[in-house]
Structure 1
Amino acid sequence: MVGTVDSAQLTVVSFNVNGVRASRRRGFDRWLVGRDADVIGLQELRCPVDEVGEFPGYTASFDVGSIPGRNGVAILTRVPPAAVRTWVSHPPKARGLGAYATHGRYIEVDLADEPVTVACLYLPKGGLPAELQRPGSMREKPDGGAKYQRKTDFLAGFARELDRNRLAAKRAGREFLLLGDLNIAHVEHDVTNWRPARKMEGFLPEEREWLTAQLSPRRLVDVVRRLHGDRPGPLTWWSWAGESFTKDVGWRIDHQLATPGLASRARWVQVDKEPSPDERLSDHAPLVVGYERSP
């Protein structure tokens, strides 16, 4: 379902398109016109610069990264942004993130029509620690915990970088909003089958503890959970396999985390889940939040 635009509100979307070219073949452009949002953060563009394409009605700020067919983030804005920063133009200062500077995982813009800095992140998926890896029971070949350690190191560095960027926005008189596929489900309500998920990447105790540490009433607020309440959902990702989508067996790994002032102006949340599997644009669905504009 797609809502109508309210000029008194700022409609913001986070959407992992899982390849913008593939998503377009499935109907992304129709969704974009129908949704008519103000700000859209996209993850996993997975294409070179000359194949990103145009987004009529929007200014597209993006970083496709240097790894062919991987990663890539973008922020689409109705009004051209006042400033754009990527990890190429503004390398991360936190130790451990330098290796990711050219990977197309982070971008942020200063909105020109609202005192808000919007950031878009595609966080590494990671893997299991070595002690949880069981040959024959994994989709991927055991790696001794290498991908798990890679994600753990990224999280440690990004926590420092996130704090720095949030405070920089505050000094500039701006609220801060982080959009993205964080590849972490935070609480039990974020996963349909949460008990077995406790030993799966994306819902490991240490990953959930990391996300908890980023949230507080004075720092960042999980806007979606605040609006949706203490109940299951809203889910944003379903496996392509089986009947996960039809039976609504999925995860919420897509997030909107806002500084308290902006979070207090969030009024509604909606997931643009398609009516049927054949109409899916991605293995994720757009996560949409409506915020009241600043006075």
Structure 2
Amino acid sequence: MRVASMNVNGIRAAVRRGFDVWLKDREPDVVGLQEMRCPVDQLPVLDGYHLSYHPGTLAGRNGVAVLTRRPPIAVREGFGNRRFDTEGRYLEVDLEPADGHPGLTVGSLYLPKGDRPTDGPAATAKHRRKLSFMASLRNYLPQARRRAQAAGREFVIMGDFNIAHTALDLRNWRANQKNSGFLPDEREWFGSILGPRTLIDVVRSLHGDRTGPYSWWTWRGKAFDQDTGWRIDYQLATPGLARTAVSGGTDREPDYASRMSDHSPVVVDYQFS
């Protein structure tokens, strides 16, 4: 079972840049998408997939989706937080077992960007808002795992977390220790949702102590060419699913001109006996 996740930074723009070609070539079974930024009536057709979509209420912003080969048996928008659930930041679908694949609950996440709290009141408010979202999501994740387990399904949450967990997850970590996305409280939160009995960072478990593989590079300058990136896109899976992962990483495009987004897809292959 091939599972992929990508912040498309606008699905219509990503398709113009070749996302549909990538999809046809890689043939993932499940794809989580973030920052769709698209009205429902303007969604591009992606042949061979069922699209579950939570556009949110903020025109031109956010929007999360899940593409699946077979139709889901249930779709849920948000995670029970009235403050954030209308923003199109979390979508969850349930899939029945089929074709040798287990039952699966899939969450597609676009976690809010923050700001440096030292940059004034507005930045502090933005950082606190991000922390509030994170705290609420942390409370929800055990419920999601238990619900999936009770139904005989594995669980995976994937998407753009806007956090680099450790120094292995961004190139210039020393210079970014006071910047949003690598602040101590963000990194502590990320570590708190992981555990050998809860959720496994699948790509990190496959790559060990090697740096990267990065998934985001600014459009500006030579960051992409020099691989000066951040690993902020993840697949976090329950242990039973994580143990079946045989390969995974980032589908980094061959050159700057080929980029589909400022993020590249994170792809994991799971092999079942």
Alignment partner of 1:229 out of 187, 192, 208: 208
> Among residues 77, 89, 106, which one is paired with 1:105 in the alignment?
89
- The answer (yes or no) to whether the contact 2:109–2:160 under 8 Å persists in 1 is yes
Q: How far apart, in 2, do the equivalents of 1:214 and 1:34 lie?
A: 33
Q: Secondary structure at the match of 2:66?
A: strand
Equivalent residues in 2 for 1:249-288, closer than 5 Å: 249-288=228-267
* Aligned equivalents of 1:40, 1:277: Cα separation in 2: 23
Among candidates 142, 151, 172, match of residue 193 of structure 1: 172
Given the two structures, how large is their TM-score scaled by the length of structure 2?
0.96
Matches of 1:66 and 1:107, distance apart in 2: 14
Aligned length in residues? 269
The AA in structure 1 aligned to 2:209 is: D
Displacement, 1:270? 2.7
- 2:116 paired residue among 105, 114, 128: 128
Alignment of 1:1-295 (within 5 A): 10-87=1-78, 92-93=79-80, 97-112=81-96, 113=98, 114-129=102-117, 132-133=118-119, 143-293=122-272, 295=273
Q: Secondary structure at the match of 2:13?
A: helix
CA distance in structure 1 between the aligned counterparts of 2:233 and 2:85, rounded to whole angstroms: 22
**Which AA in structure 1 matches 2:38?**
C
Displacement over 6 Å in runs of 4+: none
- Whichever residue aligns with residue 221 of structure 1, its letter is I
Any idea what SS the aligned residue of 1:99 has? coil
Counterpart Cα distance in 1 of 2:31 and 2:145: 19
- What residue identity is the alignment partner of 1:47? C
**In the alignment, residue 148 of structure 1 is paired with which amino acid?**
H
The SS at the match of 1:245 is coil
Following the alignment from structure 1 to structure 2, what is the Cα–Cα distance between the partners of residues 100 and 213?
A: 21
Q: State the distance in 1 between where 2:43 and 2:162 align.
A: 23
Q: Distance in 2 between matches of 1:285 and 1:237?
A: 7
Distance 1:255 1:220 in 2: 11
Q: CA deviation at 1:58?
A: 0.5
SS in 2 for 1:269: strand
Instruction: Return the TM-score normalized by structure 1.
Output: 0.89
The residue that corresponds to 1:3 in the other structure is none
Alignment-mate amino acid for residue 215 of structure 1:
L
Distance in 1 (alpha carbons) for counterparts of 2:253 and 2:214 = 12
The amino acid of 1:145's aligned partner reads T
Change (3 A) 1:247 1:144: closer
CA RMSD, Structure 1 to Structure 2 (Å): 1.1
SS at match of 1:203: coil
Instruction: Return the alpha-carbon distance in structure 2 between the equivalents of residues 15 and 239 of structure 1.
Output: 15
Structure 1 unaligned residues grouped into runs of 5+: 1-9, 135-141
- Residue 143 of structure 1: CA displacement? 1.4
Give me the whole-angstrom Cα distance separating, in 2, the residues matched to 1:45 and 1:24. 11
| Alpha-carbon distance in structure 2 between the residues aligned to 1:283 and 1:199 | 22
Structure 2 unaligned segments of length 5 or more: list them. none
Distance 2:232 2:161 in 1: 6
Which one-letter code corresponds to 1:30 in the other structure?
V
Q: CA deviation at 1:144?
A: 4.6
1:101-121 Cα offsets, whole Å, 9 max, x none, are 111111111112231111111
- DSSP-derived class of the 2:225 partner: helix
